[in-house]
Amino acid sequence: MAIKTEPLVVNIGPQHPSTHGVFRMRVTLDGERIIDAEMIVGYLHRSMEKLAEERTWTQNIPFTDRMDYLAAMTGNLSYCIAVERLAGIEVPERAQYLRVIFAELQRIASHAMANGTFVNDCGAWQTPLFYMFREREKVLDLFEMTCGARLTLNYMRIGGVAFDLPDEFLPQLRSLLDELPDRFGEYEDLLIDNEILLMRSRGIGVLSPELAMNASMSGPMLRGSGIVWDIRKADPYCVYDRMDFDIPVGHTGDCYDRFVVRMEELRQSVRIIEQAVEQLPPGSHLADVPLNLRPPKGEIYSRIESPKGELGFYLVSDGGPEPYRFHVRSPSLLNLSALREMVVGQTVADAIVTLGSIDINVGEVDR
């Protein structure tokens, strides 16, 4: 006689330590298997997009720090590029290179956090997490040296960057660049063939290329499913068209592939920074932009490749000192949209690993 079971609805979050923020996933279980899942967001909603329509174009830069607060540099950068294109502002060449250097340093710091916490979600020990935090702290030291902040940076400016490099920056950066390849090798020796990591992540949370494209995935989520797409090459901004780097991709679209893609992107970021430092020209770090900036009437959608994927800003100007419309296309929200399809049929433990592999930041999901 077959045993009949009753479905059990379980809330994971919004306070669960493995949910990567104030996020709630309501799962329906048949035993230990998930038969349905519902993502519930909004706990961190701050009405940022509406508030931005009541502040000047420059005053809105700190808002972008507080979306993906683990990658504030790229939040700043995406918004500033959008305003510059809307207003027709030419950014000095030196500032373009500085933006690339800091954006790639931010990618290293963000991926170190993503992979470190992912390994933790897989049930591994704390050592890899602290190894990766070691490198992240060195990147944050460089940020603090340049702009005085470590997390919410407010460094990018419409027309360039807030400060030029201090004298001690480049020697410390070169020291870090010399050290990083060996550090990445340590990660790989420790993790790539680790039995626990392989068992917990291979074949788990598979995202097919078709679903990835239909769900508008981007970043490591898309590339982990084998799609060769990176905005730095497909639609270059700053001086990325002068940089030589590869686009790592996965093969099966599972949690392990997404982890490996982020690992390889660390190496590619080092390659880009080395080229940018070598090519760094003299000159001004900031264009002459009016304090009371009033872009002409019009609209723009501008995007960059943030550590989590395509981060875009849709801005509308009515000729006034503040945006008429301010909207963000955040990769965390769209990358989260296929979570149900990725976890149905898995166990609860596998769902936690799958969520960790997406690398969401709820500040960017809710805004």
pLDDT in tens, 306-318: 999 999 999 999 9
Q: Whole-model pTM?
A: 0.93
- Residues 72, 106: Cα–Cα separation, whole Å: 8
The answer on pLDDT for 16 being more than 80 is: no
Those residues with Cβ within 8 angstroms of residue 233's Cβ, 6 or more apart along the chain or in another chain: 240, 247
Which among 96, 98, 91 has a CA at the least distance from the CA of 164? 98
What's the whole-number mean pLDDT along residues 161-173?
95
Tokens for 321, please give them: 């000192």
pLDDT computed for residue 18 by the predictor: 59
Which among 234, 359, 242 has a CA at the least distance from the CA of 304? 234
Name the more confident of 189 and 18: 189
Tell me the β-bridge partners of 326: 315
pLDDT digits (tens, 9 = 90+) for 263-318: 999 999 999 999 999 999 999 999 999 989 999 999 999 999 999 999 999 999 99
Output the CA torsion sign for 48, 51, 55, 57: positive
The number of residues in the chain equals: 367
pLDDT digits (tens, 9 = 90+) for 88-120: 999 999 999 999 999 999 999 999 999 988 988
* Domain boundaries along the sequence of the chain: 8-366
Select from 1.20.120.1810, 1.10.645.10, 1.10.10.10, 1.10.1040.10 the CATH code of 8-366.
1.10.645.10
pLDDT digits (tens, 9 = 90+) for 54-89: 999 999 999 999 999 899 999 999 999 999 999 999
**Sheet with 33-40, side-by-side order of all strands:** 8-12, 24-30, 33-40
pLDDT computed for residue 19 by the predictor: 65
